[in-house]
Amino acid sequence: MPTPAELETHFWTALRKDMTVLLACDGAPPRPMTAQVSTDRDAGPLWFFTATDTDIGEAVASGPKPAVLTFASQGHDVFASASGTLTKDMDRAKIDELWNPFVAAWYEQGKDDPKLCLVRMDATDAHIWETGNSLVAGLKILLGSDPKQDFEDQTAQVRLDH
């Protein structure tokens, strides 16, 4: 059974690898976004490039907004739901740090594009689930074991703002 700290580490590792989340805030329904995270530690904040004329860009223009992030890793072995605050943060040093060819493809005028909007999510709480291989669960059922107990032992509520 993984500890909450181990589940949190698995979440950050999976998020760095897969990066696609559903992100929503007050004024903006959930939408797929690419999360960028620090490479040097298992902690936030999370960063998102968007445009000023998107729902999220317009929502954060008037100030910080409560936000929710939902994540499923590519292999469906880590799932998470995190809450926190979404804020527009146009720190040029952070834009320079996070800029890459995939981001650049969305902005015709590069880092100086007037529609460029960098958004920071300060996540506070997350519920993280780690699932076992469904083949293993199937075998346990065949052998008379209840796979639900294993699943219950692989979930944790964690603080992300430490």
Grouping H, G, I as helix, E, B as strand and the rest as coil, residue 155 is strand
Please report, for the domain that includes residue 111, its CATH number: 2.30.110.10
- What is the number of structural domains in the chain? 1
Q: Give the range of the structural domain holding residue 61, as residue numbers without chain letter.
A: 4-159
Distance CA 1, CA 3 (A): 7
Distance CA 157, CA 162 (A): 14
- Look over the chain and give the mean of its residue pLDDT values, rounded to a whole number: 85
Q: How far apart are the first and last CA of the chain?
A: 23
Non-local (6+) Cβ contacts of 93 within 8 A are: none
pTM: 0.81
What confidence category does residue 26 fall into, taking pLDDT thresholds of 50, 70 and 90? very high
Task: Identify the pLDDT of residue 9.
Answer: 87
Q: What is the pLDDT of residues 71-123, one digit of tens each?
A: 999 888 899 999 999 999 999 999 999 999 999 999 999 999 999 999 999 99
